[in-house]
Amino acid sequence: MVWVWVGVFAVVAIASAAQALSGFGFGLIATPIVAVLAGPREAIVGLTMVGLLLVAQLSLRGRGHVDRPTVLVMTVAAILGMPLGLLVLTQVEERVLTLLIAAAVILFAVLLWRGLRLPRHRGTDAVAGFAAGILSTSTGTSGPPIVIALSAKEMQPTVFRATISAIFLVQGAAALVAFAIGGQITRDAVSVALAALPGVTVGSIVGERGFRRLDTPTFRRVVLGMLFLSGVVALFGALWS
């Protein structure tokens, strides 16, 4: 059992470093492996707890750089999209939906890498937020539309990370409330969170050091690389499920 918690610590440390470096990727890296080590439900709930602490920390560090209008538009749009996501969940097979999302994420990552320019106005933010809301309640994965929209803005690294962290903070808080209401915060989930907490601390320190050394072009390549990786992981996960 000790080795399970050591494994949770190690995986979460790597995932936290990736999140601190690029602004996202914590769930992508940590959830599949921790689910094998401790169980899927415990992994999702426990990692939501510590993930909330991580994005709160990143939001606090970058509080002077948050694009608040973007956060507001995307958050409101996401809330409006969540009921539609529940409808999609009941009408579309999850595997098919995941395959379509993964293909779209990979396509957008490649197109953005090759110079695609999305319109830089609130309509793009609203569409991305709405799509994120649909995905959050249908697949549990809301990050890709937000990453795509923010990447198209070509923000400075500090603004990108602070803004996306603030968005994830609101979403994570809402998820945690839902877990609490649904009685999902169990002793095992709390144990996962406690084992992961030191990993969050270590990983965020390492990731922060790397983040400070990135210039804007390198940061953009890191973000698009992570976006592409998230699509590939989702694609293989759906194909092998």
Q: Is 94 exposed, middle or buried (0-12, 13-18, 19+ CB in 10 A)?
A: middle
C-alpha triplet 77, 120, 63: angle, nearest 5° = 65
pLDDT at 137: 67
Please state which of the ranges 8-22, 62-76, 208-222, 227-241 shows the lowest mean pLDDT. Answer: 227-241
d(CA 96, CA 203): 34
Q: For residue range 123-153, list pLDDT tens digits in order.
A: 899 999 998 888 776 665 677 788 888 888 8
pLDDT at site 141: 65
Q: Tell me, what's the pLDDT at 139? A: 60
- Residue showing tokens 């050394």: 213
Closest alpha carbon to 97 in 43, 65, 136:
136
Q: What is the pTM of this model?
A: 0.81
Which of the pair, 209 or 136, is modelled with greater confidence?
Answer: 209
How confident is the model over 207-227, as a mean pLDDT?
84
DSSP conformation letters of 121-176: SHHHHHHHHHHHHHHHHHTS--HHHHHHHHHHTT--HHHHHHHHHHHHHHHHHHHH
pLDDT, tens digit (0-9, with 9 covering 90-100), for 31-84: 777 887 888 778 888 888 999 999 999 999 888 999 999 999 999 998 888 888
Distances from the Cα of 16 to the Cα of 10, 96, 131, 148, 217, angstroms: 10, 29, 25, 21, 22
Q: What is the pLDDT of residues 76-120, one digit of tens each?
A: 998 888 888 777 767 777 677 777 777 877 887 787 787 777 777
Q: What is the pLDDT of residue 72?
A: 94
Average pLDDT score over residue span 201-209: 92
3-state secondary structure of 209: helix
Question: What are 164-194's pLDDT values in tens digits?
Answer: 999 989 888 888 887 888 788 889 989 999 9
For position 115, what pLDDT does the model report? 73
pLDDT given for residue 174 in this prediction: 82
Q: 4 or 123: which carries more pLDDT confidence?
A: 123
pLDDT at position 199: 95
Which amino acid is it at 89?
L
